[in-house]
Amino acid sequence: MALRDGNSYRESLRALNIKVYAFGEKIDSIVDHPLFQPHINAAALTFDLAHDPTTEALVTATSHLTGSKISRFTHIHQSTDDLIKKVKMLRLIAGKTGSCYQRCVGWDALNANYTVTYEMDQELGTDYHQRFRRYLEYIQDNDLMVAGAMTDPKGDRGLPPAKQKDPDMFVHVVAKNDKGIVIRGAKVHQTGIVNSHEMLIMPTMAMGEEDGDYAVACALPTDSPGVIHIFGRQTNDTRRLEKGDLDQGNAEYGTVGGEALTILEDVFVPWERVFMCGEYKYAGLLVERFASYHRQNYGGCKAGVSDVIIGATTAMAEYNGAAKASHVRDKIVEMVHLTETLYCGSIACSCEGAPTPSGAYFVNPLLANTVKQNVTRFIYEIARLSHDISGGCMATMPSEKDLHHDEIGKYVEKYFRGVDEAPTEERMRMARLVENMTGGTALVESMHGAGSPQAQRVMILRQANLGHKVKLAKKLAGIKEEK
């Protein structure tokens, strides 16, 4: 089929029989429910931009499987140029949405599985890679949105999967037959999964021999029998249920990516959609490949989000009459510096990418993990500086209903005005945007999305090649290496 547009994407969601709960109620139609619409709008934009002549070159690619024009979100990276375009595209779209558009996790899962299944087949003589290529072609041909499903609940973090008191704390295989496998467990913090067509399940950590039943990678539709999605809370999410849009801050695209807890209650998966089943030695490699691809993203998408935060902060300084103050200008310079530093890291790890045995390109993992480590710090500082400049009104303003109230509206209008030339409502709208983009859920995602800070530090140490650095130092110090 042809590349979807946003409306086609929305209609395709209506065709799903997906089971979603939110606030203790089963949702009949996520497409028509205000709680989900901002996230769907953000994802829909990625489909629309594929048809925009000004963005088409970044948002589409040529399939190495079929030679057809496809969404870049379903593409397997064939060069460092592809890796660089990925980062540029993510910054572009994040600047347009000011939020998460949810397709990166599945995209990174596609690339990680493509490279690892190839290497599994080369060593083990399995046929996982050919299965995956057929699945990938199906995704590309139908322009489907895939949710990458890696994070397990984990239970007791001090115990491996096989030693958990409750075996369902990690997704595992509970039955096999000649037609396929049956899996049970859950995936948590699943970005965009309720408005995705497919979910690509992966192990969440390196595993030992006793964890064989947990070493499973497979794909299934998000509305498969036995799958239940429980939508997660976000900061100020019930504002979407109120009349008016001012208090939402970013009414069209929302905050972060609409995460959910996804339950897998004895779900059947046919063999043609199984890409790892018991090959525990490859679980860690799949996790590392996925994590590095995903951490590459953050200097792109967070730079795009920060572009909007910087713009909103600059506007607030103007509304407050403080834009010319030297300390304000200096703080904005610092916000720009931090943003561009994040972007540089993502571009660098892309330029330093190299081909895997499959031919697909992989980022420099040391630099990719460094990018994400910086995000866990820089975004908080960008938010802090934005709060400093914008002022306390963003956290204490009356509501939109108060602004438009027959009796008290005139007081809100009068006392929340800044400079004379700027309407009060404009200042309030910009303050709410700052609140939306720099508040609780957005910051937590910057910290824990793509893995906690410690996960990056482990990878950084592993990739640091300290032995080589010691040799460099010994040579300059005149210390001879012992043979």
Report the catalytic residues: 100, 104, 191, 259, 294, 298, 301, 445
For the record, the structure tokens of 288 come out as 């590392």
Q: Residue 293: is it exposed, middle or buried by C-beta count within 10 angstroms (0-12/13-18/19+)? A: buried
Q: Going by DSSP bridges, is the β-strand pair 20-22/227-231 parallel, antiparallel, or unpaired?
A: parallel
Long-range contacts of 208-213 (CB under 8 A, 24+ apart): 208/160, 208/162, 208/280, 209/280, 210/160, 210/162, 210/163, 211/160, 211/161, 211/162, 211/170, 211/280, 211/283, 212/278, 212/280, 213/162, 213/172, 213/173, 213/174, 213/278
CA angle 133, 134, 138 (to 5 degrees): 115
How many C-beta atoms lie closer than 10 Å to residue 358's C-beta?
19
User: How far is residue 33's CA from residue 178's CA, in Å, rounded to a whole number?
Assistant: 41
The contacts of residue 163 (CB under 8 Å, 6+ apart) are: 210
**DSSP label at residue 32:** G
CB 296 within 8 A of CB 346: yes
* Total Cβ atoms within 10 A of residue 280: 21
Token pair of 137, please?
């072609």
Amino acid at 73: F
How far is residue 17's CA from residue 336's CA, in Å, rounded to a whole number? 45
Quote the CA–CA distance of 35 and 254 in Å, as a whole number: 9
- Check if the beta carbon of residue 325 is closer than 8 Å to that of residue 350: no
DSSP per residue, 204-267: SS---GGGGGG-EEEEEETT-TTEEEEEPP-TTGGGGGSSSSGGGSSTTT-STT--EEEEEEEE
Is 55 a known ligand-binding residue? no
Q: How far apart are CA 246 and CA 385, in angstroms?
A: 23
Residue 234: Cβ within 10 Å count: 23
The Cα-based distances of 147 to 101, 196, 327, 399 in angstroms read 11, 6, 43, 35
Q: Rounded to whole angstroms, how far apart are CA atoms 109 and 287?
A: 9
**Rounded Cα gap, residues 286 and 133, in angstroms:** 16
Residues placed in the known binding site for FAD: 191
